[in-house]
Structure formats: structure tokens, C-alpha cells
Structure 1
């Protein structure tokens, strides 16, 4: 299946210190992004959606700035595929207006862009309700 890169920015009315744990910790991500998130002893995140496991490694963790998770198949011992799907969260500030934005970058199987945008708007609105932003 063809993969696409989805990129979208969302204005967030809160500080980086408040939102970062919701993007980087299992408990934070489980509140808005997945049904549940579990981290094992090897620091592999298991994102659980609709009863299905999705395993990811954190490949970037810059405190209060940037988080990137790369998904992989744990049963693939050789990991021949280097074109792994990923999800990335970047916290950016518009210095002119002093507003914060959450940039979401998702790379994975191709979906309808309008459907993808709708899914992310719902997720981000849920996150905003939790953090009050």
C-alpha cells in the first residue's frame, strides 16, 4: 500500500510544559490519542486502538519541543523495511503573535486526506478539552 505524509498545525492555548507530557508519556497519550498506551522494559510503546496493538519506538524526545514515534512490527526479526510509518509532534511558537502551535506529522498508509484531517481535528479537540487550551 502507498504511504503518504499528513502535516497539520493546530493552535494550542497553553504552555509547552503543560502539553508535552500529553505527547510523550504513556498516561498522557492514553488520555487523548489511543485507547491505552503501555511502555515495556525496552522502552517500546504499545499503542492500543480498538483492541489492536501498534508498537512504536521513541526516536526523538526533545523535552517541551519535539516527539517522534516510529512504528514497527515486533514479529519481524530482520526489519528489512526501513520505510517505517511514524507519528511526530512538534511544539512551535509564532514569535510575532506569541501563540503556540502543535504540528502533527503522520507518515503511513494512504487514507483519504479529508478523513485524516477530520480524525486529527477530533483528537486535537479532545486534547484541548483535557488541557484547557
Structure 2
């Protein structure tokens, strides 16, 4: 069995919004559902069910620092952990020099088409910017 190679896509987007304003859009089901996917449901085991095009994608929030960063580790269809699982990392960073805020996105997934990932994240980020007014 050959292992699929994963792509680690990293992008920083400048955003004119405070970490306090931004963080709920990265960490809460209702916030994420507004820009990131069609819907998000969190079950009693704290498993996030991200829905895109009617399909469920399960994930666990494996790390978070309030107003700083969030990581979602994607699970298998039966909500099990997988070897070398995909994840998405959102972190809010600011430049000491310019005081600019950045949203850094790390998407570690099976998607091999980097151009497609770029387009996807550019569009998603545009949605987020429109919502937060950044």
C-alpha cells in the first residue's frame, strides 16, 4: 500500500481586525460556519463536524490559545484518529514593527494541487475579511 503524500500549504494574510474579534471566527462552530464551511456541528464528545457540499468531515480541536491560535485535526469517517492525519492551523500573528495583524493558515492535507489550495484559501479568506470588516 502506498502512502499518499500530504501537502503542507502555508499562507499569511494581512487582516485589519483585532485578535479578540477574529478568534471566535476561527474557534467557534457558529463563527466557522459563517466563512469556512456550510455548517459546523459540535457533538457531546467535542468532535467538530464540518460540512461541505452535504458531506461530513470530522475534526478535533487539538490545540488552542485564546486570541492566538487554533488547530483542528481531521479524523476518519468513524471519528477515529489516522496516521499522519490532515490538520488545519489558524494563528493570529502581529508584526512588532508595523503593528499589522496577520492570519497565518497551515493546511496539511491530501490536496496535491497547490494552485487549487491557493484559490480555495484566497476565497475563504475573502469571506472572512468581508465579515470582520478587515
Residue matched to 1:92: 93
Runs of at least 5 residues in structure 2 that lack an aligned partner in the other structure: none
Residue matched to 1:15: 18
Matches of 1:87 and 1:40, distance apart in 2: 19
Q: Is 2:63 the partner of 1:60?
A: yes
Q: Is 2:119 the partner of 1:131?
A: no
Asked if structure 2 preserves the Cα contact closer than 8 Å seen for 1:2 and 1:110, the reply is no
Deviation at 1:111, TM superposition (A): 2.5
Matches of 2:79 and 2:87, distance apart in 1: 17
Runs of at least 5 residues in structure 1 that lack an aligned partner in the other structure: none
Q: Over the residues paired in the alignment, what is the CA RMSD in angstroms? A: 1.2
Deviation at 1:34, TM superposition (A): 0.5
Normalised TM-score (structure 2)? 0.94
Normalised TM-score (structure 1)? 0.94
